[in-house]
Amino acid sequence: MNDITNILWEVTQDMFWSSIAALGFSMLFNVPTRTLIGCVACGAIGHGSRTLAVELGATIVSGSLIGAVIIGLMGYLFAKRWHAPATVFTISGSIPLVPGRIAYSAMLSLIQLSTTDPKTGETLLVRASINGIQTMMILGVIAIGISAPTLFFERTRPIV
């Protein structure tokens, strides 16, 4: 029981901070003021559900997929509710999921490789590749996740 309360407390904090992150980036992207609350909700619930999934044993990649699918569904519903394209909600909402820290680690390791001693460069190389691949995987599942509703519900013949 204590375990569950711990996880819930963790996720609540996580949702609070990711809602602030989503708010800041939504303003940077100049989303319409009336959709701001929807963007923040997408960010908080999307990132919160990823953290919950990871706490329950998912990997960061599958957790991101779960978070992104939830963001995609929310964006799909909000688009109808607020008469704005789903992109507004899904892009701003998935910014907290973007693996900034992992990409940072990959790029920095890559740059430090240029000045490192060949004998000890192995760690850096491994770190750069692991983080680089993880970044690409997470970005890929975010894109699949947020467009999942359109891919499933709007399978019309291409008009162009």
Partner 1 sequence: MAASTQKPPLNREELRDIIDLSLWAGQILLQHGAETQRVENTVHRLGTNLGCEWMDILVSPNAIVATTISGEEFRTKIRRVVGLQVDMTKVSAINRLSRRIESGELDRFGVRSELQRISQIRSHYKRWQVVLMVGLACAAFSRLFGGDAVVFGMTFVASAIATFVRQELSRRHFNMFLVVIATAFVAGLIASLPSAFDWGDDPQIALASSVLLLVPGVALINSADDIIKGHLVTGITRGISGGLVSLGIALGLSLAMEIMGVSGL
Listed in sequence order, the residues at least 6 apart from 108 whose beta carbon sits closer than 8 Å to its beta carbon are none
* Residue 112 within binding range of partner 1, rule CB under 8 A: yes
CB-nearer residue toward partner 1: 1 or 25: 25
- The one segment of 1-9, 52-60, 99-107 that binds partner 1 by CB under 8 A: 99-107
Least Å distance, CB 42 to partner 1, is 13
Are the C-beta atoms of residues 38 and 22 closer than 8 Å to each other?
no
Binding status of residue 127 toward partner 1 by CB under 8 A: yes
Asked if 24 touches partner 1 (CB under 8 A), the answer is yes
Token digits of residue 130: 């692991």
Q: Which of 38, 63, 67, 96 binds partner 1 (CB under 8 A)?
A: 96
Minimum CB distance to partner 1, residue 4 (Å)? 21
User: How near is the Cβ of 151 to partner 1 at its closest, in Å?
Assistant: 8
Q: Using CB under 8 A, which of the segments 1-9, 55-63, 89-97 binds partner 1?
A: 89-97
Tell whether residue 54 is a contact of partner 1 (CB under 8 A). Answer: no
42's CB contacts (< 8 A; 6+ apart) are 22, 71, 74, 75, 78, 89, 90, 92, 93, 94
SS3 string, 90-151, reads HHHHHHHHCCHHHHHHHHHHHHHHHHCCCCCHHHHHHHHHHHHHHHHHHHHHHHHHHHHHHH
